[in-house]
Structure 1
Amino acid sequence: MLPISKHVSIPSSEIELQAIRSQGAGGQNVNKVATAIHLRFDIQASSLPHFYKESLLKLNDQRISKDGIIVIKSQQHRSQEQNREAALNRLQTLVKSVAIPRKKRRPTKPTKGSQKRRMESKTKRGRLKALRGKVDY
């Protein structure tokens, strides 16, 4: 069980973990031992509440495929167990981030002073550029 909140958790049967070989340097350990973890989690087939599913599918995240499957690859640690924990923690934080309500943006207007300063700087710049023109005798 992967706890998300007090009332919501993901059963281990819904999370597919696969051990694969890591990429990059590391010598014999990397070449022989499958220490990296490939985590797959199907959002639509999960037992998460409808709110979580909708919010996860709306996210613009490269880890979520068009089919609604979260794919996380963890290979930063040397041991398989540490990579498994890291992948599960990343899944947990991703699902938890959806539960936090977003603040609505209130559009603001520039102040009178800032508008005045902007216009003054524009006229000053215009005068400077006008001085660069041809001189008439």
Structure 2
Amino acid sequence: MEFLSVKPRVKIPMAEIELSAIRAQGPGGQNVNKVSSAIHLRFDVANSETLLGGHKARIIAYSDKRITKDGIIVIKAQNHRTQERNKDEALERLKELLIAALYIEPKRRPTRPSMSSVRRNKKKNERRKEVKALRGKVRRDEG
């Protein structure tokens, strides 16, 4: 059984991915009119048996025009002349979409400056303060 490996622990069997060959749109002349080289990929996230519930929810909630409200991912690949290359491109786009949807931003850990950097900054500020103090008006001492 073949799988589409999305992440190390997320593998989707090819049986759950529906691929159908259709005629491509746009220019291309006789080749486009005769040959069904474009690929229409459909993956039903909501009814997938291999994805975990949390993964399904994250994918369906992901904001992308290729994901329908019912949780079906629809991808159309027609950039290449051959059906095989379009199939590979459609699967690669599905993989990229799933990786983006399943990505979790790491939580930020607040950091503090080190003691040596604090001392260095204080020393630098003191020097700057002295330089600026010397820029003031010169007063004559009366004597």
- Do the two structures share a fold, i.e. TM-score over 0.5? yes
Residues 74-89 of structure 1 mapped to structure 2, 5 A cutoff: 74-89=77-92
Distance 2:84 2:97 in 1: 20
Distance 1:60 1:41 in 2: 16
Q: CA RMSD in A?
A: 1.4
**AA paired with 2:19?**
L
Which SS does the other structure have where 1:25 is aligned? coil
Identity %: 52
| Count of residues paired in the alignment | 105
Distance 1:73 1:59 in 2: 19
List structure 1 runs of 4+ shifted beyond 2 angstroms.
102-105
Which SS does the other structure have where 1:4 is aligned? strand
Distance 2:99 2:17 in 1: 16
Q: Tell me whether 1:69 sits opposite 2:39 in the alignment.
A: no
Distance 2:95 2:54 in 1: 16
Distance 1:68 1:40 in 2: 10
Residue 25 (structure 1) aligns with: 27
- 5+ residue gaps, structure 1, are 106-137
Distance 1:89 1:8 in 2: 15
After TM superposition, the score normalised by the length of structure 2 is 0.70
Residue 12 (structure 2) aligns with: 10
Residue 96 (structure 2) aligns with: 93
Distance 1:15 1:8, change over 3 A: same
Residue 128 (structure 2) aligns with: none
Which SS does the other structure have where 2:7 is aligned? coil
1:52 touches 1:95 (CA, 8 Å); kept in 2? no
* Structure 1 residue 45: Cα displacement: 0.9
Residue 58 (structure 1) aligns with: 61
Distance 2:29 2:53 in 1: 46
* Structure 1 residue 100: Cα displacement: 1.8
Distance 1:8 1:43 in 2: 13
